[in-house]
Homo-oligomer: A and B are copies of this chain.
Amino acid sequence: MHLFWEHGYEATSLAMLREAMGLTPPQIYNAFTDKETLFRKALTRYHQTEIGFALEALSAPVPTGEAIRRLLLGAAEAYSRPGKPGGCLFVSGALAASPQAQAIADELKANRKASEAAIAERLAKGRAMGDLPEGLSVEGFAKYLAGVMNGMSIQARDGASVEELRTLAQTALAVFAIEGQKQGASSKE
């Protein structure tokens, strides 16, 4: 998982995986069928071990503002854990791919879309409960938040510290606080 996370799907060779896992090639293929299946297993493990913060943040019984605060600050921490590759596997795994690896790229894209959809769902709940500022559209703000998280992932990959990511997250969150202060003001120019 760390290798895929660090180098991406295609750039991670079986030789690297073999050495990291201490297995011989037939053992790998017996256990994981092929490279693509192995990557999907790593993706599942990534879900379970690295990004629980997102589901927790979005499902916690807290106001919407607190939920997205936990989401972004959780991302700041998760994307810069010591000893782990920076950023998010969904982004680093296969942002660009050869035609042969299109299926993997599409799968990661679907994961990113699902993350955005999960945010949108939480925002819609907030809208229904009345604690989403009027000036923010559910879809638009979800895309903004997902975009900020993706951006944080790249900043993390470029070496941003957890403090820098937290500052970035808090700057991004200011939009929420601000739109709440304004009454019905236009969010567009």
Interface string of A37-53 (1 = CB under 8 A from B): 00000000000000000
Chain B, Cβ-Cβ closest to A177: B178
Q: Give the complex CA separation of A96 and B4 in angstroms.
A: 9
Check B148 against A147 for contact (C-beta < 8 Å).
yes
Nearest-neighbour CB distance to chain B for A30, whole angstroms, equals: 25
For chain A, give the interface size range. Answer: 35 or more
Check B95 against A141 for contact (C-beta < 8 Å).
no
Check A164 against B148 for contact (C-beta < 8 Å).
no
Check A167 against B155 for contact (C-beta < 8 Å).
no
Decide yes or no whether A183 CB sits under 8 A from chain B.
no
Check B158 against A144 for contact (C-beta < 8 Å).
no
Decide yes or no whether A175 CB sits under 8 A from chain B.
yes
Interface stretch, picked from A7-15, A54-62, A121-129, is A7-15
Decide yes or no whether A170 CB sits under 8 A from chain B.
yes
Choose from B97, B99, B137, B171 the contact partner of A144 (Cβ within 8 Å). B171
Given A147-B168, A175-B174, are A91 and B154 neighbors across the interface (CB < 8 Å)? yes
Check A109 against B170 for contact (C-beta < 8 Å).
no
Check B101 against A11 for contact (C-beta < 8 Å).
yes
Choose from B11, B143, B174 the contact partner of A155 (Cβ within 8 Å). B143
Name A's B-contacting residues (CB within 8 A).
Answer: 6-8, 10-13, 69, 91-99, 101, 109, 112-113, 136-137, 140-141, 143-144, 146-152, 154-155, 157-158, 160, 164, 167-168, 170-172, 174-175, 177-179, 181, 187-189
User: Can you report 13 A-B residue pairs in the complex whose CB atoms are below 8 A from each other?
Assistant: A7-B96, A7-B99, A8-B95, A11-B98, A11-B101, A112-B158, A140-B168, A144-B167, A144-B171, A144-B172, A151-B152, A167-B188, A172-B175
